[in-house]
Amino acid sequence: MKQRRLVLILVLALLLAFPALSAAQADDGNGGTTDWGSFFDANGNLLPGVKDLGVQTVEVPWMPRLPDWAVPASEQEIRKSNDQALAEARKRVEKALTELGYEQAAPHAPEDGNGHENPGELIVHFGRNQGKKLAEIWASEEGRGWIRWAAGDDGKGKGFEPKDEKGKHLQRMAKAFLMLNAAYAG
C-alpha cells in the first residue's frame, strides 16, 4: 500500500514539475511561430489559402560527406543513385548556362588540395602538425588531444577558433574524424 502511494506521489510530482505540453510550432514566415492549427483543419487537410510547397530540403554545408567505407551497404545503392542523378542535373545546368553565354565557374576545392572525403586524409595547414594527415596525428595520445582541440573542445573548455575557411574546413573534418573514430572506441 505504501509503495502504491509513493508511486502515485512521484507520478503527480512529475506531472506538476513539467509544464503542459503544447503543439509543435510552425514558422509563420514573419520571424515568429504559430500553431499548426493555422494551417490544417481538424481532419488534417490544408486550409484554403495555404500553399503546399511539397517536400523542402535544406543543404547542410557543415556536415561532411561520409566516405563510402563508412556508409552501410544498405544505403550505398541509394547514395550511388543520388550521386548519378545529381551529376546528370549538374551537366544539364552547365549545358544550359553555356548555351546562354554564362562562363562556368570552376568547382570549389580548397587551395591546399585537401578535397578528400575521408577526414583522416585531411592535411593540417598550420602549427606544429602542419603537413600531417589527421590519421597520422591520431596515432599518439598528444595527437588525439590536438584533434579534439581542433574539433573545438579539448575537454578543458577550450578549443580551436577558426578564423578563415581553411580553419572552418579543418574543424568540420576534425569533428567528423572524431565521430568516425568514436565507433571504434573501446
Q: Which residue has the higher pLDDT, 111 or 115?
A: 115
Q: pLDDT band at residue 8, thresholds of 50, 70 and 90?
A: confident
Q: Are 79 and 67 in contact (CB under 8 A)?
A: no
The predicted pLDDT at position 185 comes to 47
Asked if the model's pLDDT at residue 144 lies above 80, the reply is: yes
Asked if the model's pLDDT at residue 147 lies above 60, the reply is: yes
Q: Identify the top-confidence range among 30-44, 108-122, 156-170.
A: 156-170
Cell of 11: 507520478
Q: Answer positive or negative: Cα dihedral of 64, 68, 74, 77.
A: positive
Q: Which residue has the higher pLDDT, 136 or 180?
A: 136
Cell of 113: 588540395
pLDDT tens-digit series, residues 9-37: 887 777 776 666 565 666 666 766 666 66
The predicted pLDDT at position 103 comes to 58
Instruction: Name 123's bridge partners.
Output: 133
Q: Report the run of H or E that residue 39 belongs to, with start and end.
A: none
Count other Cβ atoms within 10 Å, centred on residue 176. 24
The predicted pLDDT at position 19 comes to 60
Q: Which residue has the higher pLDDT, 106 or 116?
A: 116
Q: What number is the average pLDDT over the span 84-107?
A: 71
Q: What is the C-alpha to C-alpha distance for residues 153 and 47, in angstroms, rounded to an integer?
A: 47
Q: pLDDT band at residue 130, thresholds of 50, 70 and 90?
A: very high
Q: Cα torsion for 168, 173, 176, 177, to the nearest 10°? A: -140
Nearest to 122 by CA among 67, 182, 61: 67
Asked if the model's pLDDT at residue 168 lies above 70, the reply is: yes
**What CA–CA distances, in Å, run from 123 to 72, 96, 128, 140?**
26, 36, 12, 16
pLDDT tens-digit series, residues 74-87: 888 887 887 788 78
The predicted pLDDT at position 37 comes to 62
**What CA–CA distances, in Å, run from 136 to 89, 90, 147?**
38, 35, 11
Query: Per-residue DSSP letters for 95-162?
Result: HHHHHTTPPPPPPP--TTS---SSGGGPBP-SGGGTT-BHHHHTTSHHHHHHHHHHHT--SSS-----
